[in-house]
Amino acid sequence: MPGAGDPLFGMLPYPHRAGAYAEYATAPARSFAHKPANVDHVQAGALPLAALTAYQALVDTADVRPGQRVLIHAAAGGVGHLAVQIAKARGAYVIGTASAGKHEVLRELGADELIDYRTTDFTAAVADVDVVLDTLSGDVRSRSLDVLREGGVLVTILPHGYEDDAKRAAELGLRLEPMLVEADHAGMRAIAELVEKGQLRALVDAVFPLAEAGKAHAHGETDRTTGKIVLPVR
């Protein structure tokens, strides 16, 4: 377990009041793991919430295995680009949806196949998928059931309004698994190991000082970011 003075990274307990926009915070020691020595604090700050979300969805919930076909929606987003790398590290064939301008960087991260959602209906471009990671909800989640093979699983990280989709999934011989990320020491240790092996890194779209947190939110709300936005503190 971490000791006094150790550099750590982790996610404060969520969705309870966490107070992460602060120079100092307290949380149970099990929420953290030792920061990998091969990354700086900007990387360490960018990883935990989004990487834990992707890890808990793909590993803990879907149990992605080598050779499986995994479809990741919004693959260039904060969760999506980390999910691409985690699925690839698990030996999966990774398919992502993203605008064409983001395909090159996603290929560098390991994506095997990419679909430009602006020009192509993903349900016409891909089939026989084992796992879908839904980061968008709505119509995308509903239509994702149509690309899964029998016995496949759709994991949604937006666990609201999914009941009709879950009923249809069961009728089709599929699973729909809603999840909400939670603080997880074992998960953080697994993420740290991937980082140390060079199999996982956060794309940092922008860095704003803490005093400009409002600007950071405005930037994120443009829906044009690739990866994460970071607010460093002193």
Burial 130-168 (b: 16+ CB within 10 A, else e): bbbbbbbbeebbbebbebbeeebbbbbbeeeebeebbee
Tokens of 204: 């940092």
Mark whether 145 and 67 lie in a shared domain.
yes
Residues 6+ apart with CB under 8 A from 148: 129, 130, 132, 154, 172, 174
Average pLDDT of every residue of the chain = 94
CATH of the domain at 121: 3.40.50.720
pLDDT tens by residue, 93-127? 999 999 999 999 999 999 999 999 999 999 999 99
Mark whether 79 and 139 lie in a shared domain.
yes
CB distance 183 to 202 below 8 Å = no
Tokens of 98: 């993203």
Per-residue model confidence (pLDDT) at position 62: 98
3 against 58, higher pLDDT:
58
Residue 40 is assigned to a structural domain of this protein: yes
End-to-end alpha-carbon separation of the chain, Å? 25
Domain of residue 12, residue span: 8-48+182-230
Per-residue model confidence (pLDDT) at position 1: 63
Per-residue model confidence (pLDDT) at position 20: 67
The crossing angle, in degrees rounded to 10, of helices 80-89 and 185-196 is 80
**pLDDT tier at 18, thresholds 50, 70, 90:** low
Tokens of 215: 């600007």
Q: Pairing state of beta strands 148-156 and 129-134?
A: parallel
Per-residue model confidence (pLDDT) at position 158: 93
Which residue intervals of 92-162 are DSSP H helices? 103-109, 122-125, 138-144
Residue 57 is assigned to a structural domain of this protein: no
Per-residue model confidence (pLDDT) at position 2: 63
Which of 1-5, 53-57, 75-79, 125-129 bottoms out in mean pLDDT, i.e. has the lowest?
Answer: 1-5
Of the residues 160, 178, 196, the one at which a domain ends: 178
* pLDDT at residue 233 is higher than 80: yes
CATH of the domain at 16: 3.90.180.10
Model pTM? 0.94
Per-residue model confidence (pLDDT) at position 22: 80
User: What is d(CA 65, CA 217) in angstroms, rounded to the nearest whole number?
Assistant: 36
pLDDT tens by residue, 155-197? 999 989 999 999 999 999 999 999 999 999 999 999 999 999 9
Residue 95 is assigned to a structural domain of this protein: yes
Number of domains in the chain: 2
The phi and psi torsions of 161 (rounded to 5 degrees) equal 65, 30
Residue 103 is assigned to a structural domain of this protein: yes
Residue 206 is assigned to a structural domain of this protein: yes
For the segment 193-204, the average pLDDT, to the nearest whole number, is: 97
Of the residues 159, 178, 197, the one at which a domain ends: 178
* pLDDT at residue 4 is higher than 70: yes
Taken as a whole, the chain contains a residue count of 234
User: What is d(CA 43, CA 202) in angstroms, rounded to the nearest whole number?
Assistant: 6
Residue 187 is assigned to a structural domain of this protein: yes
3-state secondary structure of 5: coil
Percent of the chain with pLDDT over 70: 97
Tokens of 56: 């808990």
Mark whether 44 and 80 lie in a shared domain.
no
Query: Cα 136 from chain centroid?
Result: 12
Mark whether 89 and 155 lie in a shared domain.
yes
Residues 6+ apart with CB under 8 A from 217: none
For the segment 73-81, the average pLDDT, to the nearest whole number, is: 96
Q: Pairing state of beta strands 8-10 and 32-34?
A: antiparallel
* pLDDT at residue 75 is higher than 70: yes
